[in-house]
Amino acid sequence: MGFQDDGLLDACRAAGLVLVAHDRRTLAHAALRAIRDRGGHAGVILYRRIVRQNDYGAQSRLLVNFWRKAAGWDWSNRIVYLPLTTPSVTL
């Protein structure tokens, strides 16, 4: 899996795309490897465990609301987890 993640991060970097995903287990490590070994990545947004993988509405709302604040950020080598804080209720 690591090679697939590495290739995906490299392709996103080449295209200038921030990667949005659920795969916290391998992508966070792959992003760190990209910084250490290959000059970095274009940015990664990962959903926390409380966001269900099939709840596309919650994912969309979190991403749109967050992007309103973060669109002007320099995303190079940045990893963000959504939601930014863990709410007391399940999304």
91 pLDDT above the threshold of 50: no
Task: Report the pLDDT averaged over residues 64-75.
Answer: 92
What angle, 0 to 180 degrees and rounded to 10, lies between the N-to-C axes of helices 2-15 and 24-38? Answer: 60
Position 3 scores a pLDDT of 59
Residue 38 phi, psi dihedral angles, 5° rounding? -130, 20
Q: What is the pTM of this model?
A: 0.85
Q: What is the pLDDT of residues 26-65, one digit of tens each?
A: 999 999 999 999 999 999 999 999 999 999 999 999 999 9
CB 44 within 8 A of CB 25: no
Task: Report the pLDDT averaged over residues 14-36.
Answer: 93
